[in-house]
Amino acid sequence: MYPLSEDATVKTIMVVDDEPDVTESIKMVFEGAPPRFNVLCANSGSECIELLEKKKLPDLILLDIMMPGMSGWDVQKQLQEHPKWKDIPVVFLTAVPERGIKDTTSFTGVDYFEKPVDVLDLKRQVRNILRRKKK
């Protein structure tokens, strides 16, 4: 993993998914071709919370919904309750069909992507979300 940059133009994202193949493939795309991002990976909801408590806050979180132990919904609830984390945009990653996401009152993310994820579309959307957040 690249070290976290002090350069304010380099954005940091956190990828939270219990499938290491998913986190690694997203990490490779986001750290690879420009524009590059710093990427923090967590393989569980509890690891996500631990990283938030220990490291620089990410500019955006990519969060899987269905994970053992602490689900993405549980993580999102903790994010919303914490004063330093509540404004971090969350993009959900899910295998749940679209209607299953939209029908829930738990959805508070800025967007979601169904798995399998097209990582190039995901990267494009993340850039757009971060541009809007900046304004």
Are β-strands 60-64 and 38-42 bridged in parallel, bridged antiparallel, or unpaired? Answer: unpaired
Phi first, then psi, for residue 21 (nearest 5°) are -60, -35
Q: Quick one: average pLDDT of 13-22?
A: 95
- pLDDT number for residue 97: 63
- Please name the amino acid found at residue 21: D
Q: Is residue 37 predicted with pLDDT exceeding 50?
A: yes
Domain boundaries, the chain: 12-134
Give long-range contacts, CB 8 A cutoff, 24+ apart: 96-101.
Answer: 96/65, 96/66, 101/65
CA distances from 2 to 18, 20, 106, 116, 123 (A): 21, 18, 34, 26, 18
CA–CA dist 52, 48 (Å, integer): 6
Tokens 């133009």, located at residue = 9
Q: Is residue 1 predicted with pLDDT exceeding 60?
A: no
First-residue to last-residue Cα distance in the chain? 29
Q: Is residue 5 predicted with pLDDT exceeding 50?
A: no
* Low-confidence winner among 12-21, 43-52, 102-111 (lowest mean pLDDT): 102-111
- Please name the amino acid found at residue 20: P
Is 3.30.70.20 the CATH number for 12-134?
no
- pLDDT number for residue 4: 43
pTM, to two decimals: 0.85
DSSP H or E segment with residue 91: strand 90-94
Q: Quick one: average pLDDT of 37-62?
A: 94
CA distances from 104 to 77, 86, 109, 128 (A): 14, 20, 12, 25
- pLDDT number for residue 132: 86
Highest mean pLDDT among 24-33, 91-100, 126-135: 24-33
Q: Is residue 20 predicted with pLDDT exceeding 80?
A: yes
- pLDDT number for residue 135: 60
At 77-114, the pLDDT tens digits run 999 999 999 999 999 998 866 554 544 445 456 788 88
Are β-strands 90-94 and 60-64 bridged in parallel, bridged antiparallel, or unpaired? Answer: parallel
